[in-house]
Amino acid sequence: MPFTHAPSTLIKFWLAVSLPLIAWDSGYALMRPWTMEGGFLHWPLWVPYKLYGEVDHVYGWEAFNANSGFTSAQSFLNVVESLMYIYYYWAWSSAAVSVKVAGAGGETRRVLVGRPAAVALLVGFSAAVMTLSKSVLYWLCEYFSGFENIGHNSFMNLLIIFIIPNGAWLVFPTIMCFKFGGELVDGLAASTPGKLE
């Protein structure tokens, strides 16, 4: 049986939500100071970043004035990840074929088949690992710096403006890593003989 792959509804939802947000976020970070308060690009698109930069100084004037390269570096990687996710979704949506789902009463599902499925899955898995690793690094930088950039906040501000929104970039990429990684392992295991002679 050939290797097949299709993104789950949850993964398609996550890509539909996260890709525009990442484009918005990367645009802000890579075009600072023009997108910051007082910059000619700040209003109306990046106005919410005034508040966010006060909560997370990595995005505020503190980091910018200190010539911290972390914000722009992680945003550059966001662009790379996004291009990988776009390729993944494009590969599936442009080349998937309809197949009948066993035991689903004649229901069909669109899947990629063979090498295109394997390549798309590998690219999607790699992007998810990048996203998760970068997100963990972001949180670890805060922990190991004594919460230098977010420690000044009240717990409620931190929870609502930092932890919940940024936590999504830990949860969904983790789900993708397990799902995609499991499919890769299953595909590799299915293509190997049971025992060597």
CA-wise closest residue to 133 among 89, 173, 172: 173
Q: Are 141 and 151 in contact (CB under 8 A)?
A: no
- Residue 196: predicted pLDDT: 56
- 41, 46, 47, 60 from 35: Cα distances, Å: 5, 6, 8, 11
- Residue 21: predicted pLDDT: 98
- Residue 90: predicted pLDDT: 97
- Residue 197: predicted pLDDT: 58
- Residue 51: predicted pLDDT: 97
> To the nearest 5 percent, what fractions of the chain are helix, strand and coil?
65, 5, 30
> pLDDT truncated to tens, each residue of the chain (197 aa)?
788 999 999 999 999 999 999 999 999 999 999 999 999 999 999 999 999 999 999 999 999 999 999 999 999 999 999 999 999 999 999 998 998 877 667 788 899 999 999 999 999 999 999 999 999 999 999 999 999 999 999 999 999 999 999 999 999 999 999 999 999 999 998 877 666 55
DSSP output for 91-146: HHHHH-EEEEPTTSTT-EEEEEESHHHHHHHHHHHHHHHHHHHHHHHHHHHHHHTT
